[in-house]
Structure 1
Amino acid sequence: MPFTLRRLFPLLASLLMSGAVLAQTYPSKPVTLMVPYPAGGLSDVIARTVNTTLAKNFGQPVIVENLGGVSGAIAAQKVLNSPSDGQIIFQGSPNELILSPLANAAVKFKSEDFRLVQMIATAQIAFLARKDLPVNNVDEFVDYARKMAKEGKPITYASVGPGSFYHLLGEHLSKVTHIEMTHVPYKGAAPANQDLLGGQVDIFLAPFGKSYDELAKQGKLKILAMLNTERLEGVKDYPAITESKALKTFTFTIWTGYFVKKDTPEPIVQTIHKAITDSLTDPAVRSGLEANSQLVAKPLSLVAVDKAYVDGTAQFRAIAKSINLQPQ
């Protein structure tokens, strides 16, 4: 046997053994669940719905850490600057890991620097309109928007910031309808909602929450449609976007998942994957997510998760390219 092979075999055996040891000992201390937004928001609620059960499955505490800034990129970078030992798990979405690097020149990482371990939930997107917008469904909205654009008074749409998913949705809506619309960026959903309720902005394509249902029933805003393929339980009072004529294919959701650095050892990834997958079957986790209008993710194998992340990255990059999104 050549000398190089004689030296290589012990090295490979050592690596395999060290991987097995990692799987047996991980986690040996509390795990941090990094949330890229301040406490109190929907992302924080999701994390605190999952972390207790996840801790039970790990046999170690799971501590939620909130770190906002730069559309979630500060928290993501902190994860990348930490060791690849699975001790920090990132709760993320396409907003932070796919779109932020495309929209912000200061963000230096790529989506490929992370590995998606498991999906957690999907948020439905609502087509919201101010209460006095003179339309009652999506097709009426398209006709009205076209009329206003011809009069030189394009309708306005809110987002939670340039390059955000909701900015892209608005731009994509303008592109597919060939109707000029004006983007009005906000620093978060709260001020966007405030101006929508006050009539300062016309529409907002936003993650659906129970509060919107209550506001719609109070006549304070309109829900023209859900960007779903069909009417789902809990939102059956509102049309699916596929029921419209003008925007039948304008179906979108945004998912939340748990990530680690891409070079995290495979045995650790497998342990995290199993703990998260088991958490998704817990009744308390499922009811907690559903109470916040989240669609609980169907557990996927690691192979399927890898493919879902690749496909999701390609989808969002294609949308960003279609509207010529440029880093600023």
Structure 2
Amino acid sequence: MSSVTRRAALAVAAAALAAGLASPALADGYPNKPIRIIVPYAAGGSTDQLARAIQPAMSESLGQAIVIENRPGAGGSLGTDQVAKAPGDGYTILFGNTGPSAVISLMRKTPYDELRDFKPISTVAITPMILAIPNDVPAKTVKEFVAYVKKANGALNIGSVGNGSLSHMTSEYFNTMAGVRLLHVPYNGGGPLATAMLGGQVQAAFVTGLDGATMIASGKVRYLGVGTLQPTPVVPGLPTIAQDVPGFRSSAWFGMLAPRGTPDDVVARLNAAIVAAVAKPEIRKMFADRNVEARSSTPAELESIIKDEIGQWKPVIRDAKIEM
């Protein structure tokens, strides 16, 4: 081996050793300053509520202050892009969900890639989509509702919390799976959708338990079915939509992701803090009271969920021509 080749080999070996040592050294001192959690939606929404619910427990576990910053805009993609471009040091992380963290790039061009630019940390919660209808709709089951919609021959409306939202995608998915035609009407969030449901402007909507709580509390809206393949304690006693529309499934996840360059051991520290927070009885009860299942995961499990969602929703978005 020539001296030049030998020096090159030694340089490569030294670089590899340095890379191997850098990550543990970072983790040993991590965290040594406050951590920012970016919520890509306005304060007070369902994503923001869940992030703030686990904030104190994570702060206690990590021994550092955690600051939540709301960065709404462009369906969640503005705040998500901010994290994608942040340093991979574990001090800026994303509290994401199905939309901007999995499928929004299927509807519009985004400056980031959900799989390439992020390193999943853990889920925090899972909540099924629920089919809700006003009491004046004459259907007691999903089967009866499908028959009612078919008889109306395209004259009925289904609302959503916004164009391109999971409730919108689930509506189009239901149209295909059930062989019906409901006209989609988007609203700017759960509040306006609830007003439309209570006022009779729409005859159905797919909602999360968080968004549906106001409707159910009014006594003027009821649930027909849940979007899990099996009955769930999140909405006790409610039958699955799949019982009458075979194979139908739709759920939303909430969780945390870091910029792609974040070291694995830092991700592991964050994952452990999330797992500990989500396991706390008071947090589990708070989530359950909102029809949300507190559920942590491994980074690999969250990545698998994101890939599965991209596969599920890509043809729905394409066939329904959903754009944002």
What does the per-residue CA deviation read over 1:146-174, in whole Å, with 9 as the maximum and x for residues that have no partner?
1111xxx4311111222211111111111
What does the per-residue CA deviation read over 1:88-109, in whole Å, with 9 as the maximum and x for residues that have no partner?
110111211222222234x322
Which range is displaced more, 135-144 or 316-325?
A: 316-325
Q: Is this contact kept in 1: 2:161–2:167, CA < 8 A?
A: yes
Rate the CA distance shift 1:307–1:225 in 2: closer, same or farther, 3 A.
Answer: closer
Q: Name the SS for the 2:102 alignment partner.
A: helix
Code of the aligned partner of 1:189 = G
Which residue is equivalent to 1:301? Answer: 298
Code of the aligned partner of 1:228 = T
- TM alignment of 1:80-95, pairs within 5 A: 80-95=84-99
Code of the aligned partner of 2:228 = N
Code of the aligned partner of 1:315 = Q
Identity across matched positions, percent: 24
What does the per-residue CA deviation read over 1:6-57, in whole Å, with 9 as the maximum and x for residues that have no partner?
1111111111111111111111101011111111121111011101010011
Which residue is equivalent to 2:200? Answer: 199
Q: Is this contact kept in 1: 2:121–2:257, CA < 8 A?
A: yes
Q: Name the SS for the 2:129 alignment partner.
A: strand
- TM alignment of 1:1-328, pairs within 5 A: 2-3=5-6, 4-105=8-109, 107-112=110-115, 113-149=117-153, 153-209=154-210, 212=213, 215-216=215-216, 219-233=219-233, 235-244=235-244, 247-297=245-295, 299-325=296-322, 327-328=323-324
What does the per-residue CA deviation read over 1:58-87, in whole Å, with 9 as the maximum and x for residues that have no partner?
110111111211111111111123212111
Code of the aligned partner of 2:226 = M
Shift of 1:215: 4.5
Code of the aligned partner of 1:110 = D
Please, which runs of 5 or more residues in structure 1 have no aligned partner?
none
Please, which runs of 5 or more residues in structure 2 have no aligned partner?
none
Rate the CA distance shift 1:10–1:102 in 2: closer, same or farther, 3 A.
Answer: same
Shift of 1:201: 0.8
What does the per-residue CA deviation read over 1:94-127, in whole Å, with 9 as the maximum and x for residues that have no partner?
211222222234x322212222110111012210
What does the per-residue CA deviation read over 1:281-305, in whole Å, with 9 as the maximum and x for residues that have no partner?
22232222222221121x4333333
Rate the CA distance shift 1:302–1:226 in 2: closer, same or farther, 3 A.
Answer: closer
Which range is displaced more, 71-80 or 274-283?
A: 274-283
Shift of 1:210: 8.7
Structure 1: how far apart are the matches of 2:265 and 2:104? 30
Structure 2: how far apart are the matches of 1:226 and 1:65? 32
